Structure formats: C-alpha cells, structure tokens
C-alpha cells in the first residue's frame, strides 16, 4: 500500500493551494485551487481485479484513492487508453492538473503533451522510475515529477533471488520436460548447479542491490558489488560483499551478474557487445532494471523478450524474438 499512501500525500500537497510545488516558471490555472482534475493511467485487471482487495494498481482498483479524492471535491478519471491522438488520455491532457502513471503501463509524457497541458502541476509515477517522462521539458515547464521511491524494493530483490535460483538450478527446462511427460534427468542435470560457492556480482548496490546481497549471504556465495560509492563499512560487513570499483574488472569474476542500476544517459546500452564479452563464458545475467541497459540486438540474439513497449518506446520487437528459448527466463515482475 506504499504507492497509495505516497500518491495521496503528493496529491494533498498539490491540492492544498493553487500551485505550491511549481517553480518560478508558473503555469496558467483554469480551475479553482480547491478542485483538481486527476487522471490515472493503469492497466486493466478484468476478472482478476476482484480476487485481491489489495490489488489497487489497475484501472478497477484506481490506486485505492478514489474515495478520498472525490470526498475532497476532486475529479478522478482512470483509463488504460494512452496511445495515439484519439486515445482517452489525450482528451484530458488540456485540463488535467495531476497525471498518475505506473512503470508497468506508462503514460508517455512528451514535450508535446506537456505543452498542451496548460493546467498540469504534478506528474506522479506510482512506482519507481520516471524514464517515460521528458524530464527536461517537465523542468522547463516548472512541473513537479515525483515517484514512490522504495515502494517495491523488497519485491524486486526477492524476484531477483528467485530468478537466480531458477537459472542456476536449470528449473525451466526441467519444468517443461516434466509437464510434457518426459523424464530425462541427464538432460537437466548437466546444466544444474548449486548456488553455494558461486560468485554473484550486482551492478548497483542501492536499496534493491543491498537487499539482494543480504538475501544471498546465507547461500554462502562470493558476493561482489559495483557502484559509484562504497557502502558504509558496517553495512558492507553485514552483507559480506566486496566492493569492485571497476565494473570491467568485476565482470570476469562473476558466475552471475545482476543489474540493479537505474536507466540514465550513462547506463543506456551499458551492457553492449564489448562489455558482455568481458564476462565469463556461460555467465547468467539477471536484469530486473530497465531493459535498455542491455543492447537490444543482444537480447534478441539471446532469445530474451523484455517488457515490450513498457521500456522500449518505439523499438521494434519482431514476433520471433518474443519466444523465450530453452534455459532463458523472462517474465513480468510485480
């Protein structure tokens, strides 16, 4: 429920007065300060919406803030229709005050949309990451851009650990073999290993990276981390991880590499052909960060499908590359 609390807090700040969060580059407001038009863009959950009362990050759940918003006199509209000139979102751009989106179904906020949005004050990501927003255009327009930092760090760290174990133990081919009625132990066991004794390196040791290292420690792995700054000595002792200042020097040591760095201009395409060539042969790479950190064609060659248009706006995804080949793992993370 962290997203619900953070969204409520951010909207309260905007709704409390005319435009308290705006910079000196103020925007024209065409509605009274006490009443805001708020638009949320989420995916549809359809028949799954009613199965879990805490499942709020969908159109049906509306982030769990509809009752509060409407009780305060605000107009709250939710939609999943966000692409193209005739989409539902486009109809509301000219007079909305707050736009809420998620990394899993992002509303792409371009400079063109910002220019049209004369009332817009707040762009809120109900999750982590704002790379679907033209941040330069938002800053120039005096907008506040906020996200719910830390809202899903435990979930992502646990998901990464799960993926590591699935890949190391060669689980997916075994599952597919057993579910199809086959039974060939050797076909699976020749690529199944223990995690104990393996060297695992995380590229990025922020909130998620540190939580992953803490969860890996009981497996008796050799733990390495690369980051811009070294951990506090006490925290480094708790995780049992060794700092690697040079990424290219760390990669050849790793049996498993986990990418936990944010997507920036510097990290886009960070794992290109040359960098991957520095890794051990047979290395396992787990990327729960933005897909664009890895070169698109390399992902295709490996048979790994990413999150389609979620993080690769405008990038072509040929259908043949949606298929996950044997031994590869790709899925959504929650």
Q: Dihedral through CA 137, CA 139, CA 140, CA 144, nearest 10?
A: 100
Instruction: Report the alpha-carbon distance of residue 113 to residue 90 in Å, rounded.
Output: 8
pLDDT band, very low/low/confident/very high, at 325 (cuts 50, 70, 90)? very low
Residue in 171, 172, 108, 156 with CA at minimum distance from that of residue 134: 108
Q: Nearest CA to 28 among 98, 89, 95? A: 95
Instruction: Enumerate domains of the chain plus CATH numbers.
Output: 2-147 (3.40.50.720), 153-321 (3.40.50.720)
Per-residue pLDDT, averaged over 162-181, amounts to 91
Alpha-carbon dihedral of residues 65, 49, 148, 20, nearest 10 degrees?
Answer: -30
Q: Which residue has the tokens 């799960």?
A: 162
User: Is residue 237 classed exposed, middle or buried when 0-12, 13-18 and 19+ CB atoms within 10 A define those classes?
Assistant: exposed
Q: Phi/psi of residue 330, each to 5°?
A: -145, 135
> What tens digit of pLDDT does each residue of 172-189 get?
889 889 999 999 999 999
Residue bearing tokens 């990025």: 204
Mutual angle of helices 171-179 and 153-168, in 10-degree steps: 70
Length of the chain in terms of residues written: 334
For residue 334, pLDDT beyond 80: no
* C-alpha–C-alpha distance, residues 144 and 157, integer Å: 29
Q: What is the pLDDT of residues 32-85, one digit of tens each?
A: 457 899 999 999 999 999 999 889 999 999 999 999 999 999 999 999 999 999
Query: What's the pLDDT tens digit per position in 116-156?
Result: 999 999 999 998 888 899 999 999 999 999 998 878 899 99
pLDDT above 70 as % of the chain: 78
pLDDT, tens digit, 9 for 90 and up, residues 264-288: 889 988 988 888 889 988 888 888 8
- Helices 207-216 and 153-168 pack at an angle, to 10 degrees, of 50
Q: 184 in helix, strand or coil?
A: coil
């Amino acid at each position: 429920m962290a997203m619900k609390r953070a969204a409520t807090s951010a909207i309260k700040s905007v709704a409390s007065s005319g435009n308290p969060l705006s910079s000196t580059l103020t925007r024209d407001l065409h509605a009274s300060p006490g009443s805001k038009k708020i638009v949320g863009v989420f995916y549809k959950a359809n028949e799954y919406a009613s199965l879990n009362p805490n499942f709020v990050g969908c159109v049906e759940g509306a982030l769990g803030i509809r009752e509060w918003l409407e009780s305060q006199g605000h107009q709250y509209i939710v939609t999943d229709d966000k692409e193209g000139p005739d989409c539902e979102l486009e109809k509301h751009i000219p007079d909305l005050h707050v736009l809420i989106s998620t990394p899993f179904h992002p509303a792409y906020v371009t400079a063109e949309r910002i220019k049209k949005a004369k009332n817009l004050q707040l762009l809120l990501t109900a999750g982590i990451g704002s790379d679907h927003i033209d941040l330069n255009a938002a800053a120039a327009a005096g907008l506040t851009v906020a996200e719910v930092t830390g809202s899903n760090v435990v979930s992502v760290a646990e998901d990464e650990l799960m993926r590591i174990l699935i890949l190391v133990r060669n689980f997916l081919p075994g599952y597919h073999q057993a579910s199809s009625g086959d039974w060939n132990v050797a076909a699976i066991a020749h690529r199944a290993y223990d995690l104990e004794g393996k060297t695992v390196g995380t590229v990025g040791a922020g909130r998620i990276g540190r939580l992953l290292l803490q969860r890996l420690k009981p497996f008796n792995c050799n733990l390495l981390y690369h980051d811009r700054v070294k951990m506090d000595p006490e925290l480094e002792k708790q995780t049992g991880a060794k700092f690697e200042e040079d990424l290219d020097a760390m990669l050849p040591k790793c049996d498993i590499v986990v990418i936990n760095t944010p997507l920036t201009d510097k990290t886009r395409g960070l794992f290109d052909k040359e960098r991957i060539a520095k890794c051990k042969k047979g290395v396992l790479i787990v990327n729960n960060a933005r897909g664009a950190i890895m070169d698109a064609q390399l992902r295709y060659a490996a048979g790994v499908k990413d999150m389609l248009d979620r993080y690769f706006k405008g990038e072509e995804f040929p259908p043949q590359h949606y298929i996950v080949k044997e031994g590869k793992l790709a899925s959504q993370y929650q």
